[in-house]
Amino acid sequence: MLHLNCKLGFFKYYAIDADKNQQPSENITIKRCLINDIGRLISYNRGDKSVMQNGSYMRTLTFDSCVIDHVSAPSVIHGNGTALTVTFTHVQFGHNEATQLLQLDSSVAVILEDVTFLEPTMIKQGTDTCSLCGHVTRMVLSDNG
């Protein structure tokens, strides 16, 4: 298992409009990691040139068999009208300074499969907030049904 410490963000998607390859990115998987002591888990703001995210877009991102502990800021994941699915499968969230783990816009769906939250954790999508604690067998969070 890979062990990572990073006080900034863990995953930031870079894609600029000048890139020759403008195909969407799919099947990005982060697997068997211990992710500890980070700022944000994910940073994605589709179309934002100032953060170099205005090129090709992401369709899917998966965290599989990971332990995520000591996150200090909420992840901001905005598809800005472009659908994105973020999946957490066989993941344990430990102690996190940020009680709000994810901040999503309406174009982002989150799938939780066999996920354990050791402490109360919030996921915010638009104006809706979902509070989670304990084990989640399967849950889909989406503004699209």
Residue the block writes with tokens 């309406």: 106
pLDDT tens string, the chain, 145 residues long: the values are 655 555 568 887 767 676 677 777 789 999 999 999 888 999 888 765 566 556 667 899 999 999 999 999 999 999 888 899 999 999 999 977 767 899 999 999 999 999 999 999 999 998 899 999 999 999 999 986 5
Instruction: For 64-107, give the DSSP string.
Output: ES-EEEEE-S-EEEE-TTS-EEEEEEEEEE---S-SEEEEE-TT
Q: Find all residues with CB under 8 Å of 122, minimum gap 6, and list them.
A: 99, 100, 101, 129, 130, 131, 132
Query: Rounded to two decimals, what is the model's pTM?
Result: 0.87
DSSP 21: -
Residue the block writes with tokens 């783990």: 101
Radius of gyration of the chain (CA): 15
